[in-house]
Amino acid sequence: MPFTKFTNLDFDQIKTSIKDYLRANSNFTDFDFEGSNFSILIDTLAYNTYITAFNSNMVVNESFLDSATVRENVVSLARNIGYVPKSRTAASAVVSFSAQPKVLTTTLTLQSGLVCTGSVSGTSYVFSIPDNVTVPVKNNIANFKNITIKQGTFLKKQFTVDGSIDQKFILDNAYIDTSTIRVYVKGISDNGIGRSYKQVDDILNIDSNSEIYLIQEIKDEKYEIIFGDGIFGKKLQNNEIITVTYIITDGKEGNGAGSFTFSGTFRDEDDNIAILNDNTVVTITTLQNSQNGSDIENIDSIRNFAPKLYSAQNRAVTVKDYESIIKSKIYPNTESISVVGGEELIPPQYGKVLISIKPKNGTFVSDFDKKQIKDKLKNYSVIGINPEIIDLKILYVEIDSSVYYNYSKISSIEDLKTKVIKSLNEYSQSTNLNSFGGRFKYSKVLQIIDNTDLSITSNITKVRIRRDLKVKINAQTQYEICYGNKFHVNPEGKNIKSTGFKIANEPDMVYFTDTPRKKSDGTVSNFGDISIIREKLTSITSESTPIFKTSIAVQSAGVVNYETGEIKLNAITITSTVLNEDIIEIQAFPESNDIVGLKDLYLSFDVSKSKINMIKDIMSSGEDMSGVLFSSNDYYSSSYSNGDLKRS
């Protein structure tokens, strides 16, 4: 009897294969495999085969990093190539305050642990510090300046070393920010809490006397502390006491706290609890609201960066090396990163590497973090290469969409509009966007709008791109703004628009616009001139439509290159802007509706500043089935009118 080959592991197919196998056996001739009790035995065999095949498939999948789905297995496989997934990160704030001790002391120490409480959207969170902070007392006042506090609860755990067993040192809490872990080992002759051990992530330059430890993630997002074995790192001795302190945090939930109430504890120079002067209240000054809190690294990120870090071998040579090392080892708060070699710049800057970082739950990397990243990169980068951290450049995409709907199929226009905005917001969070090298897919957006609700019959959508120019107030400055995408050229101009601002020696609010240059044959050039115009309200029509009169304030304020999508502004003194934080929004119309964030441009779909116009489709609704009342001019002008960009 021939062996049956299973080409399909579906239950019904397995059952059919078993029947065919039995029918080929002469001992089972004329058996009824459907109606007899034999059918139950065949079902049992088929179920057993099916379950075994499923389990085998799952086991094989969980054996490879690319296909594993259980976090514990993914973490274990990444560990084999030296990758430690990033833990949950506590939101950090920077504060300053002063204290007046009641008893004379030369120093005052802010004890590690709880420092203050803060509030985010009505919810209170505690903020702690992982280390003691000691400052001198001058004129009976201790000034604590630029103290970094981390959202979370400070905890402590102790172990006693027992060399007779295979002892593991596991921290029982999940949600630990591993950057706050501190380890102290106390021997029989040691005083206090013991000697501080250093955390490392490799065994380079480690000998048998190095007081070091490593951490690794284990089951249920908990962590294990690993010490040396006497060859790589100092080996623990019997009865030594290990003290581990750490902070468990709520991650990104702690972002946004700006007002804090002090709850900390002080100690004097003799390590006694210090009491403050009567009626003294510690008032906290917030220098930086809490930010950069994030969740534990997800499985997809581990799969992506573990092989990259392994291939880099702790050396920053290629673009991918820089990306993986910065995100994995130097600045875990990185959401997206762009690395551009100096030889790719115009003009080239050999020996430089320009790095732009988009942090999680934030926009800019602080000057302190920039310096830290540069200093740590020296341990990985090639000698003679100078890395430079540049500020994030965001390329915003906005749409102006006219959405046509069948009013007979809806109960509320506002509800339908809310659904459309929700669908667009979901797309704006996709992996195609919110990254360097991201791509805004026009056809995808049209499809998303049309598929939001059955009542939507069509949409006409226009795309705009925008850069936010941060200006220097009352300083004569030149500016260069790159969009990385070719501009659409209207021969009549007004391809470039901006929000309002004021300049020196000009009382009126002014705006940027452009005028294309003409070639000798009358066609439009790839270049245009940037002008600064003023607009004044002259009248209002009976339909309440305002009419403006435009005049030129500065004829030649810069140049626009439509081909490369670049604007260069001549030296100009800007005295104020309509928008907060000295921002001027400059908008352009792209030649292609598919927008790409090239090189150091971070692409973001800004739904909040897009226009969604809901328009009743009178033909689909049956109100004008013959098209007598329908105007094609109104249909197209609803989306393609060129309104000026003005935002207050």
Asked whether the CA dihedral 90, 94, 98, 104 is positive or negative, the reply is: positive
Is the peptide bond between 347 and the residue preceding it cis, with omega within 30 degrees of 0? yes
Min mean pLDDT across 31-40, 295-304, 495-504, 585-594 is at 31-40
The strand pairing partners of 92, in sequence order, are 150, 291
Instruction: Please give the residue that has the higher pLDDT: either 638 or 10.
Output: 10
With a cut of 60, say whether residue 644 has pLDDT above it.
no
Q: Is the pLDDT of residue 400 over 60?
A: yes
Q: Which residues contact 378 (CB under 8 A, 6 or more apart)?
A: none
- Is 90 exceeded by the pLDDT of residue 347? no
In one-letter notation, the amino acid at residue 212 is I
The amino acid sitting at 70 is V
pLDDT tens-digit readout, 243-300: 999 999 999 899 989 899 999 999 999 889 988 887 778 999 999 899 888 899 889 8
pLDDT bracket for residue 637 (50, 70, 90): very low
- Of the listed ranges 143-152, 315-324, 466-475, the least confidently predicted one is 315-324
Residue with token string 């749409």: 399
pLDDT of residue 161: 94
Q: Per residue in 562-583, pLDDT tens? A: 999 999 999 999 999 999 889 9
Q: What is the mean pLDDT of residues 494-503?
A: 91
Check pLDDT > 80 for residue 635: no
Q: Residues with Cβ < 8 Å from 300, sequence gap 6 or more?
A: none
What per-residue confidence (pLDDT) applies to 613?
93
> How would you label 131-162 residue by residue, b for 16+ Cβ within 10 Å and e otherwise?
eebebebeeeebebeebebbbbbbbeeebebe
Phi, psi of 598 (to 5 degrees): -95, 145
- Determine the average pLDDT of the residues in 36-44: 77
DSSP-assigned beta bridge partners for residue 246: 155
To the nearest 10°, the Cα dihedral for 300, 303, 305, 307?
A: -170
pLDDT at residue 226 greater than cutoff 70:
yes
Segment 455-479 shows an average pLDDT of: 93
pLDDT of residue 648: 34
Mean of the per-residue pLDDT values of the chain: 85
Decide: 373 and 331 in contact? Cβ < 8 Å.
yes
Q: Where are the alpha helices (DSSP H) in 383-485?
A: 413-428, 442-450
Q: Beta-carbon neighbour count of residue 219 at 10 Å? A: 11
Q: How far apart are CA 392 and CA 471, in angstroms?
A: 15
Pair 561, 530: CB distance under 8 Å: no
Amino acid residing at 229? D
Tokens of 73: 């297995």
Phi–psi pair at 118, nearest 5 degrees: -135, 165
Torsions phi, psi of 347, nearest 5? Answer: -75, 160
pLDDT at 54 > cutoff 70:
yes
**Mean pLDDT to the nearest integer, 440-455:** 93
Of 365, 419, 445, 481, which is closest to residue 605 (Cα–Cα)? 445
User: What are the pLDDT digits (tens) for 163-219?
Assistant: 888 899 999 999 999 999 999 999 888 888 899 999 987 777 788 999 999 999 998
Q: Where residue 6 falls among pLDDT bands split at 50, 70, 90?
A: low
∠ CA 465-471-474, nearest 5°, is 150
Residues 6+ apart with CB under 8 A from 82: 202, 309, 310
Question: For the chain, what percent of residues have pLDDT higher than 70?
Answer: 90
What are 97-135's pLDDT values in tens digits?
999 998 889 999 999 999 999 998 889 999 999 999 999
DSSP character string of 190-238: --TT-EEEEE-SS-TT--TT--EEEEEE-GGG-EEEEEB-SSSSPBP-T
pLDDT score of 57 more than 80: no
Rg (CA), the chain: 33
Those residues with Cβ within 8 angstroms of residue 528's Cβ, 6 or more apart along the chain or in another chain: 489, 493, 495, 496, 514, 515, 516, 517, 559, 560, 562
- What is the C-alpha end-to-end distance of the chain, expressed in Å? 84
Range in 81-90, 221-230, 330-339, 485-494 the model is least confident about: 330-339
Helices marked H in 217-366:
299-312, 319-325
Q: How far apart are CA 99 and CA 285, in angstroms?
A: 13
Q: How far apart are CA 144 and CA 153, in angstroms?
A: 21
Residue closest to 562 by CA, chosen among 586, 584, 590: 590
